[in-house]
Structure formats: C-alpha cells, structure tokens
C-alpha cells in the first residue's frame, strides 16, 4: 500500500496550528473528514496552501455551485478517481446539478444541456492542455465572465492534483456522514 503515515497525532508548533485550522474551517462547513489533507499534512505548509485554494473554490468562487460540482464530477469520471466522485456526488445534487446531468456524467455520456455543454467543452480543452477556441472562449466569458472561465480551467487543475494525492497515497473514502457538506 502506498499510503503515507497519518501525522496528525504528532504534529507540533506551526504544523499543529495548521492542522487545527484546517479541521476547524472544514467542521464549520459541516465537513468532518480530512481526506487528502491527511497525507498532505506530512508537509503542513503545503497542506495549508492547498487547503486555502480548495476553500476558495468550494466556498468563495464566482462559479455557480452546480457548475463547480459539474467540473469536479467530470474530472472524477475522466480520471477514474472514485474518492472524488463519492465525495462530491451528493454535494452536486444538493447544489442543484440536475439528476439527468449527473447520470450522463456517471455513464460517461457527452450530451449536456446548457450551460453544462459549454463547460464540458472547456474541460475538454483543459484536460488536453490545448487552447480554447476563440468562439468557445467568447461564449464562456459571456456566460461566466473572465473570472468564471479562469476558475473552470484552474478547477480542472486543482482537482487533478487532488485526484493524484488521493490515488498516489491510497486515501480511503470517509463515511457518508463525514462527507456531508463537501
């Protein structure tokens, strides 16, 4: 097994403060698990910075919540990372992502209604590391603004990184109760 040790019981000083801050911030939003932050806490400063970016995406970004969750579910299916899918599918439904859209993603389908069709095309470009065609970029900016377009693209990168942490270090799925609020 490739799991890293859980350092949380032995953290001291600044590492301990970072751990407690991450726990408190997540608990305040109803999330009672650390998931990939457990292996990341072997490098507390890195864990802190990654968690801050994740916090922004989850709770402060300008994207509509259903679009945010759609991007995460697309990444989960394309990368075949069960943890990310299981950790977000209920939150996607709670955010208003239509069940038909969730099911299409689950089935690896590609026929999505607006605006998810647009987002799907953008994620195709992001995951292929290729330029977004001007007409598609213009449509995305009209729908989500430049900030939203940037968030869609960088969200693909963020959750790719989190999928790598989950996969490389065999992060176990938390209980369904602990996943609430994701």
pLDDT at 14 over 50: yes
pLDDT for 182? 47
Whole-number CA gyration radius for the chain: 17
Would 1 be classed as within a structural domain?
no
For residues 122 and 77, membership in a common domain is answered with yes
For residues 24 and 46, membership in a common domain is answered with yes
pLDDT for 102? 97
Task: State the residue range of the domain holding 22.
Answer: 13-60
For residues 30 and 70, membership in a common domain is answered with no
Between 33 and 39, residue with greater pLDDT: 39
pLDDT at 141 over 80: yes
pLDDT for 95? 95
For residues 78 and 159, membership in a common domain is answered with yes
pLDDT for 178? 57
Domain count along the chain: 2
Query: What band does 177 get if pLDDT is binned at 50, 70 and 90?
Result: low
pLDDT for 33? 86
Would 69 be classed as within a structural domain?
yes
pLDDT at 68 over 90: yes
Closest listed residue to residue 97, CA positions, set 112, 86, 82: 112
Task: Tell me the CB-side half-sphere exposure of residue 127, using CA atoms within 13 A.
Answer: 17
CA–CA distance, 80 with 95 (Å, rounded to integer): 22
Would 175 be classed as within a structural domain?
no
Q: What is the pLDDT of residues 95-128, one digit of tens each?
A: 999 999 999 999 999 999 999 999 999 999 999 9
For residues 147 and 82, membership in a common domain is answered with yes
CA–CA distance, 142 with 145 (Å, rounded to integer): 6
pLDDT at 144 over 90: yes
For residues 56 and 69, membership in a common domain is answered with no
Closest listed residue to residue 68, CA positions, set 134, 144, 178: 144
For residues 104 and 27, membership in a common domain is answered with no
For residues 144 and 90, membership in a common domain is answered with yes
pLDDT at 2 over 90: no
Largest CA distance in the chain: 53
% of the chain surpassing 90 pLDDT: 80
């Amino acid at each position: 097994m490739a799991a890293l040790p859980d350092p949380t019981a032995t953290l001291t000083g600044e590492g301990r403060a970072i751990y407690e801050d991450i726990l408190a911030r997540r608990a305040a939003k109803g999330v009672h698990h650390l998931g990939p932050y457990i292996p990341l806490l072997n490098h507390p400063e890195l864990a802190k910075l990654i968690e801050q970016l994740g916090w922004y995406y989850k709770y402060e970004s300008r994207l509509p919540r259903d679009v945010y969750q759609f991007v995460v579910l697309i990444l989960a299916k394309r990368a075949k990372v069960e943890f990310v899918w299981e950790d977000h599918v209920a939150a996607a439904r709670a955010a208003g992502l239509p069940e038909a859209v969730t099911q299409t993603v689950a089935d690896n389908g590609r026929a999505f209604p607006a605006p998810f069709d647009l987002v799907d095309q953008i994620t195709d470009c992001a995951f292929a590391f290729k330029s977004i065609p001007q007409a598609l970029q213009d449509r995305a900016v009209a729908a989500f603004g430049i900030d939203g377009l940037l968030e869609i693209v960088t969200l693909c990168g963020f959750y790719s990184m989190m999928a790598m942490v989950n996969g490389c270090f065999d992060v176990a799925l938390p209980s369904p109760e602990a996943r609430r609020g994701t």
